[in-house]
Amino acid sequence: MIYDITIDGKVHKLNMRRKENGWQCQLDGREIAVDAVLMQPNMLSIIVDGRVYEVQRESLAGENHVWVAGIRYKAEVSDPRSLRGRKGGAANESGPRKITAPMPGKVVRLLVSEKSEVEAGQGVMVVEAMKMQNEIKSPKKGIVQKLTAVVGAAVNAGDVLAVIE
């Protein structure tokens, strides 16, 4: 199997095939023998050259993460031969940007109105969760094109709250 794997924004080429006790991997051209056992549904034990690693995975707000040695990495896996693997990509810095809810909560206050101008980092609204009020900031300088959030409404992680043009 061949994958393009993006770890914290950097793309790695991984070519792997099954072998006894694990996988023979070619990572960015380098051969690595990997002894791997799935110990729990989301936990792999990996031994490479005698070194032991536990790799945990989780999905959170639409992102896939892997954890190694207490550090979280954003991970995207795609098959270079598939069409789906090619499309998409990061949002364009210069186009409109969606502001999404970073966690489930309740919109308690809007700090700007539609069509108003905002600076990068300026507070756009306040979402409350777990007894804490959290200011949601604009990712860029621009105009508030759309403000879908409504005061008092419950939101889920990933819901679009506003669009900045």
Partner 1 sequence: MFKKILIANRGEIVVRVIRACHELGIAAVAVYSDADRAALHVRKADEAYRLGPAPASESYLKIETILDVAKKCRADAIHPGYGFLSENAKFARACAEAGVKFIGPSAASMEMMGSKTRARQNMEKAGIPFVPGTSRGLESPEQALQVADKIGYPIMLKAAAGGGGKGMRLVHTAGELKAALEAAQSEAQRSFGDSEVYIEKAIVNPRHIEMQVLADEHGNTVYLGERECSIQRRHQKVVEEAPSPIVDADMRRRMGEVAVRVAKAANYANAGTIEFLVDQQKNFYFLEMNTRLQVEHPVTELVTGLDLVHLQIHIAAGQKLPFKQEDVQLRGHAIECRIYAEDPENNYFPSPGKIVTLAEPAGPGIRLDGGIYEGWTVPIDYDPLLAKLVGYGADRSQATMRLERALGEYFVGGIQTNAGLFRRILKDADFQAGRLDTGYLDRLLKSSSEKIEPASSKEIAAIGAGIFAALETESAATRNDSGKPSKSEWTKTARAEALHS
Q: Fill in the DSSP letter of residue 70.
A: T
Given candidates 19, 32, 91, 165, which one binds partner 1 under the rule CB under 8 A?
A: 32
Given candidates 108, 111, 157, 163, which one binds partner 1 under the rule CB under 8 A?
A: 157
Minimum CB distance to partner 1, residue 127 (Å): 8
If the CB atoms of residues 123 and 145 are measured against partner 1, the closer one turns out to be 123
Site for partner 1 in 93-152 (CB under 8 A): 102-106, 129-132, 134
149: Cβ contacts below 8 Å, ≥ 6 apart: 107, 110, 125, 155, 161, 162
Whole-number Å distance between alpha carbons of 165 and 157: 22
Apex 9 CA angle, 155 and 143, nearest 5: 50
36: Cβ contacts below 8 Å, ≥ 6 apart: 22, 23, 44, 45, 46, 47
Between strands 51-60 and 43-48, the pairing is antiparallel
Q: How many residues interact with partner 1 (rule CB under 8 A)?
A: 69
If the CB atoms of residues 35 and 96 are measured against partner 1, the closer one turns out to be 35
Minimum CB distance to partner 1, residue 99 (Å): 13
Interface with partner 1 includes 66 (CB under 8 A)? Answer: yes
H or E element at residue 22: strand 22-27
If the CB atoms of residues 57 and 115 are measured against partner 1, the closer one turns out to be 57
Q: Fill in the DSSP letter of residue 165.
A: -
Given candidates 20, 29, 31, 81, which one binds partner 1 under the rule CB under 8 A?
A: 81
Minimum CB distance to partner 1, residue 32 (Å): 7
State the CB neighbour count (10 A cutoff) for residue 162: 22
Given the rule CB under 8 A, which residues bind partner 1? 1, 3, 5, 7-8, 10, 12, 14, 16, 21, 23, 25, 27, 32, 34-40, 42-48, 50-60, 62, 64, 66-73, 75, 77-79, 81-85, 102-106, 129-132, 134, 157
